[in-house]
Structures are given as C-alpha cells and as structure tokens.
Structure 1
Amino acid sequence: MQLSKEDFLKKANTICKNTLMETLEIEMIDYGRDYLVARMPVTPKVHQPDGVLHGGATAALAESVGSFASHVFIDVEKYFVRGLEITANHLKSVKSGFVYAKATFIHKGRTTQLLDIRITDEKDNLISVCRLSTISLPKTS
C-alpha cells in the first residue's frame, strides 16, 4: 500500500528525529515521482560569523535532501544509501527566512545516483547549486 503524500512526509520527518536534520530544523515538505523538496530556516544557528547563511549548513541541507531522495527510490529492505561526493556553488547570501532545496535526479542507476540540488530563498532566488553522487549498497545480515 502506497502512503499518501501527507503520510509520506510525516514519516520522512519522523525518521529525521535526533539527527543533524533535526538540529538544523530541516523539514521535508514536498515530493513527486522524480524530486524531493526540503526547507531549512535561516537563523543565527546556521549563520557564519558575519550573519549570513553558512555554506556548510547549505551543503548539509543539500546532502540531506539528496541522500533522502536516493533513499526513497530504492528497496530499503535490501539496500542503504551513502553519499560519495558533494559540490556546492554558492551564488547569493541569505540572512533570514527559509531556504528550499529541491533534489532532482540526473542519473538514477541501480548502484549510483547523481542528483542536482537547487537551493532557493523564499522569493525563488537561486542561492546555491549543488551536485550529489550517492551509492546504494546491499545490506548484510
């Protein structure tokens, strides 16, 4: 039985309890057949010393939504996902509000996945462009 979008997002956010995602207040807010969207508040908790969003927090948001997207589209009973490489190009700074990360697949292979993650602000300004490669590895008992 497939979960409704609302139930899926609730379950996704429950899984993130007691993790970095909870610490950074990252919340999964939308998904579709080939994408996943998360948001993160921009507060002093994720600022660099001069009061703007820290690039490391942006990369953590990108890796979280990208890895979770890869996780959603595999058989989690048989496989687990790990990030291989992430790149981030920061284009604009943000001081407050929310940033949104939309992960879409460039390549969705059985073993490796490549995702494009676009970080935008509340006005849909492009903040960062990230690429994440992940690998699906078989679980062993």
Structure 2
Amino acid sequence: MSDIYTPTDHLAELVEAGVPEEMHAWLAEWGIGALVVKMGIKFLEMSAERMVATMPVEGNTQVAGILHGGAHVVLAETLGSFAAGIHAGPKGQALGIEVGATHHRGVSKGLVTGTCTAIHLGRTLTTHEIVMTDEDGRRLSTARITNLIREA
C-alpha cells in the first residue's frame, strides 16, 4: 500500500465518510484525513453553522472499555475544524488555536453522535460548541473549539 494518495483515493474516502457530493471538489485534493478514517467518523450534515457526525465506540476505547476521552476530542475537533474550513471558504484556511472538553458520562458500546453548532463566525475567528451524545440522546461530553481564519 502506498502512502501517496491520488484524488481517486480521496473520492472513495469522501463517499465512505458520508461527505455530501457538493463538497467533493473542495476536499478531493486533501480528503478527510487519516485519523478521521481510522476513528470511523461518518458525516451526516456539513455546514459552517451546523455539522453532525457519528463515531463508533468500538475500536476507540481506553483500557476500562469506555470511549477514550481523546476520541471525544478528535470527533469535536474534526467537526469544528471542518465547519470553520467551510466558513473560511476556498480562499481561506482554518487553523485550530484552542480546544477543550468536559466529559459528563462514559459509554461502552454503540455510536456516538457529535453535533457541532456555531457560536461565532467572524472574519478572523470562529468558535463552535460540540455536544457528543449516546444512542439514547444522553450527553456524554461538551467541547468547544476556536479556529483562526486566514488566507490560504
């Protein structure tokens, strides 16, 4: 297996991750990132104002058998960064400058859903809140990410 990706490789990755077709041209060169693929994140909605994705607990647990706290943060940062990138547009670039999370309860099976909502969409900064819930809708964690927006 080669470490060199082609746009065709990324297209399959985008389709598998549930990225809407209208975003394929924008993401074809970079894809969604190796960590997003490894974590099993699947996108359900994608916009600067709201992003929703799922991630399986299985394969993303810590030694106690519950979803790793870092996995919560990976899902949160993925959603917030993609939302900020959409806000930045094709001539902009979003760079994460702060992320933090509070873990409310553990989960040992099923899918986690992350719902990302814009708090601030400015010219140079964006801030998003991301709430992770279990399949019963119980809040697992709350995260916040701030991204710097600059010209690409």
Could you tell me the TM-score, scaled by structure 2's length?
0.79
Contact 2:126 2:146 in 1 (8 A): yes
Among 79, 99, 105, the alignment partner of 2:92 is 79
- Seen in structure 2, the aligned counterparts of structure 1 residues 28 and 94 have a Cα distance that, compared at 3 Å, is same
Could you tell me which runs of 5 or more consecutive residues in structure 2 were left unpaired when the two chains were aligned.
1-18
Deviation per CA, 1:3-29, whole angstroms, max 9, x where unpaired? Answer: xx942476788721x511001011111
Per the TM alignment, residue 31 of structure 1 is displaced from its structure 2 partner at its CA by: 3.5
Aligned-partner Cα distance in 1 for 2:53–2:65: 22
For the pair 1:47 / 2:61, whether they are aligned, the reply is yes
Q: Aligned AA for 1:104?
A: T
Alignment-derived partner of residue 108 in structure 2: 95
Shift of 1:32: 5.2
**Stretch deviating more after TM superposition (5-14 or 107-116):** 5-14
Shift of 1:74: 2.1
Which structure dedicates a bigger proportion of its chain to strand? 1
* Cα root mean square deviation, aligned: 2.1
**Separation of aligned partners in 2, 1:62 and 1:33:** 14
Equivalent residues of 1:41, 1:98 under 8 A apart = yes
Residue 26 of structure 1 pairs with residue 36 of structure 2: no
CA distance 1:105–1:138, shift in 2 (3 Å): same
Question: Following the alignment from structure 1 to structure 2, what is the Cα–Cα distance between the partners of residues 119 and 79?
Answer: 28
Cα separation, partners in 2 of 1:8 and 1:125, compared to 1, 3 Å: farther
Gapped regions of structure 1 (runs ≥ 5): none
**SS at structure 2 position matched to 1:73:** helix
1:9–1:29 CA contact under 8 A, matched in 2? no
Amino acid at match of 1:138: E
Deviations 1:112-140 (A, max 9, x none): 0010100011111100000000011212x
